[in-house]
Chains A and B, each alone.
Chain A
Amino acid sequence: NAGVTQTPKFRILKIGQSMTLQCTQDMNHNYMYWYRQDPGMGLKLIYYSVGAGITDKGEVPNGYNVSRSTTEDFPLRLELAAPSQTSVYFCASSYQYNEQFFGPGTRLTVL
């Protein structure tokens, strides 16, 4: 099992550009999550999904969109990137309320 994989590992965007952060898990987990972590801060939930076709907002959803067409994939879309979206983005998955498994993260800088 590869676990949770994320691409890209690093990305620099210009203000106003858009991009999609990819997340894939091969553990057949039903729950998937996107978090952001700013330097020296805790994790903040952006969006989550409890199954294919079902998504919902977390604490900080503004500026982001998600979709979940399959159990395995949960891409995060950034529209009109802003400097405030400079952060490390982690995708995670879990089987219901069990422990979450995290991907290695995507480091995004918006200039």
Chain B
Amino acid sequence: RKEVEQDPGPFNVPEGATVAFNCTYSNSASQSFFWYRQDCRKEPKLLMSVYSSGNEDGRFTAQLNRASQYISLLIRDSKLSDSATYLCVVTPTSGTYKYIFGTGTRLKVLA
């Protein structure tokens, strides 16, 4: 089993739609969780951190389910500019500094 798994997509959705991505992780001792956004041929940029209680930033909502070992990202009212690859990132357990990146989920928002 991969340490972090994501559905690669692509997810093709119309403008205004709501779309959700899930990401599963294998190590129950993982400490912190993030969603990053990567545009084509650009560097990854932090979209939001994921907290145990769930958190929201405008149209974006992130959830963490430690019992089932997954995190989710919900995007409401999709915009054309949301088209990108979304990377799930899990930080290391104690004793290692390796951040685990998922391979990403591609989203394409259609006009």
Chains A and B form a bound pair: yes
A33 to B89, CA, bound (A): 15
Among B32, B43, B97, point to the contact of A103 (Cβ < 8 A): B43
A98 to B34, CA, bound (A): 9
Among A45, A56, A98, A102, point to the contact of B45 (Cβ < 8 A): A102
- Give the size range of B's interface with the partner: 20 to 34
The answer to whether A90 and B44 have CB atoms under 8 Å apart is yes
Q: Provided the pairs A31-B97, A99-B34, A99-B49 are in contact, do residues A104 and B102 lie with their beta carbons within 8 angstroms? A: no
Query: Which B residues fall within an 8 A CB radius of A?
Result: 31-32, 34, 41-46, 49, 87, 89, 91-92, 97-99, 101-104
Query: Which A residues fall within an 8 A CB radius of B?
Result: 31, 33, 41-43, 45, 48, 50, 56, 58-59, 88, 90, 97-105
